Amino acid sequence: MFGPGLWRYGGMLDPMREMQRLQREMNRVFSGMGQPLHEELPPVNVWVGEGDAVVTAELPGADPGKVDISVVGDTLTISGFREAARLGEGESYHRQERSHGRFSRSLQLPFHVEAGKVEAKYDRGILRISLPRAEADKPGKISVKCE
């Protein structure tokens, strides 16, 4: 259904992800075959502040016009298409490691988002989406009275 929720951990390093990275590294060393093309694309980082969240995604070589971003409630979906280089007559691949094709990612954010105020910027192959928190979802302050 929806993508992974946000689980929190101290720093950047998830041991499982590190293990997977190590495994990929080993595969690369031993096979020389490049990396599989079915990798989940694009990798994202999520930053959360008090009033908004920022999602950055590595999307090198994407056409910004062909990237779709949609927000429903607290779920953000990034989808699009990355074209493979078209080969002409007599051209052939020596290596093909970059992934291409259709991609789609859904992320669940820790709060509901004001869908009309979502902004996205694409620069140097990095997509940055800023998602302001919905007014209705902001925590109400409860003052403590002293009797």
Partner 1 sequence: MDSKIDYEKKQAPVPVETERTRNRRVYVPKVDIVETGSGMVMYADMPGVDEKSVEVTLEKNVLTITGSVETEALAGRSMAYAEYDVGDYERAFTVSDEIDRDRIDAVVKNGVLKLFLHKLPQAEVKKISVRTE
Residues making contact with partner 1 (CB under 8 A) = 6-8, 12, 14, 17, 28, 34-35, 43-50, 52-54, 56, 58-62, 85, 87-88, 90-99, 107, 110, 122, 124-126
Give the residue from 48, 112, 107 showing the smallest Cα distance to 74.
112
Q: Are strands 75-82 and 101-108 parallel, antiparallel or unpaired?
A: antiparallel
The first and second tokens of residue 58, run together, are 């590595």
* Nearer to partner 1 (CB atom), residue 87 or residue 136: 87
Residue with tokens 């008090």: 50
* Nearer to partner 1 (CB atom), residue 66 or residue 70: 66
The first and second tokens of residue 6, run together, are 């946000």
- Partnered with residue 130 across adjacent β-strands are 54, 119
Q: Least separation, in Å, of the C-beta of 74 and partner 1? A: 13
Distance between CA atoms of residues 23 and 29, nearest Å: 10
* Nearer to partner 1 (CB atom), residue 29 or residue 142: 29
* Nearer to partner 1 (CB atom), residue 13 or residue 143: 13
